[in-house]
Chain A
């Protein structure tokens, strides 16, 4: 039985008053399960950080309630909630040693000295920083500060750990390392993680569930596969991964699918979102991921295309193509030895994977 760790109902938040008021969050309803790795994903200004700060207690909602572990904490200060935060800037206390930083929460909770010392040692070991206990935050690298910030937030054993874009200041290699480190820490501690990021790849690889946010709304809530494979609208499809958007004409509608007319005259089946029933002849937006089509010999496949350019990405190559009706199409092709990139202006066919084409609400 999975219990609910965080329950948010009817949450609204606006800043400022009157004409200058800005509504950062609109009618947020959300439950996060205990032990879940939950990600709030969206572009900057979408409200994800505001939501995180409300859960932490740094901001109070304008309306709505927030429960943590069944207890209504709306209106309580951050020091009265079983929640700790890893700040984007780490916010380590510069005048304290790393050990004192990590022990601060326990000290403020009035824990006995021996217990604090034991927990600090345990936390230093957990983040592999045992040798540096007496250093100052200014004497260690950014990646190490990140680990200490994690240890400091985990030391009081919070029910929920909030992470505000904690990896954004790290370089790529270190970021990858910390991603797996975070996953390890989460499974070892069993604490509920609420992670804020604008990096869709980070969200996909780490999360149990993702909430995609835009303009104060949660647009889609679901597992990474669900969000990637069946985005609910154009914004989500565009924000998560790369997507080809095609304007296509409806030839027929059969049950939950539409038959679309492809450039070049062939047709393809595309699934329709729930509650959408386009009329025959209407123009709709269909999406297909770049890796869900395959190159074929010219004249074969569902579509004919001309190569404009090729971009090499190491594991794969992105081919920028133009279709018969001048619409653009990006094809991702995995690189194999002895397979040269096609020359610009060469022609090729495209075979769409069955079920890959989907009609989207705009």
Chain B
């Protein structure tokens, strides 16, 4: 068709923004990871692999040739991945019944429920996180109520634990799971559920053999939308986890701040990108690839 070849021009504004805001800075970070740190922060234009080296190893302060694994960094890596996986799982478990509830309402009330789901986005993340702090700190709402009811004698330590980080992240990212799940369920043909029941399937079997395969695209989209921002989360682990439950985002920020080691921070950031992309490819291969592979 005439002019068809020019349709791609429509997305050039978005491409320009992406280029300037994402690809450009990414390139800078990639370059920085191979430079030397400046004394007061910043970088010195001098090629070095020390930034990448320090991601995994640490040198003895007095004898720089004495090298050992950087356990602290690896721990942060592992914690970030593990907490993000748990967050994704919690969001999926909580999000599925929520999305199901909304998708099975009459059409005109669904909009209201979806609207309610998005309300948390209206408030600043910082404010919401402080609100959670208020709930779970030692003399916060939960502990006060429990103690006045006489259920506990001393406050339960919830602040600055992995539990607090999980709670905060699950809360923040839940809508990102509910919305794609809802979208998948809304497209679902509910007569398939009836067909399942009709063919002697129990509730659990209908869920497993009929509903879950239908909403799988929603799960995949939701998991990606939750896992990726979770692994780079900064505000939530900072405010609820404190120094002891640091995540990747905090570690990177630390290098660009007090750590004054920009190349290390840049290398960590690049590594996170590699991990996320790798995880994504693996995930899509394992979960999403089945259909396509069988279809040939």
Contact = CB atoms under 8 A, between A and B. Distances in A.
Interface string A48-78: 0000000011100000000000000000011
Given A89-B189, A95-B214, A136-B295, A108 B194 contact: no
Contacts of A84: 198-199
Nearest to B291: A95
Contact of B210 (A57, A93, A105, A152): A93
B200 A91 contact: no
A35 interface: no
A343 to B, nearest CB: 53
B192 A108 contact: no
B195 to A, nearest CB: 4
B191 interface: yes
- Which of B194, B202, B205, B291 counts the most chain A CB atoms within 10 A? B194
A105 B200 CA distance: 6
Interface residues of A, number: 24
A87 B201 contact: no
A339 interface: no
Interface of A: 56-58, 77-79, 83-85, 87, 89, 91-95, 104-105, 108-109, 136, 152-153, 156
Contact of A78 (B198, B213, B295): B198
B199 A156 contact: yes
B106 to A, nearest CB: 12
Interface in B181-220: 189, 191-192, 194-202, 205, 209-210, 213-214
Given A85-B198, A93-B209, A156-B199, 19 more contacts: A56-B198, A57-B198, A58-B194, A58-B197, A79-B201, A79-B202, A83-B198, A91-B189, A91-B192, A93-B192, A93-B196, A95-B214, A95-B291, A104-B196, A105-B199, A105-B200, A108-B200, A152-B199, A153-B198
A156 B198 CA distance: 11
A153 B196 CA distance: 11
Closest 8 CB pairs of A and B: A105-B199, A91-B195, A108-B200, A95-B213, A91-B191, A78-B197, A108-B201, A79-B200
Contacts of A92: 195
A104 B194 contact: no
Contact of B205 (A57, A58, A108): A108
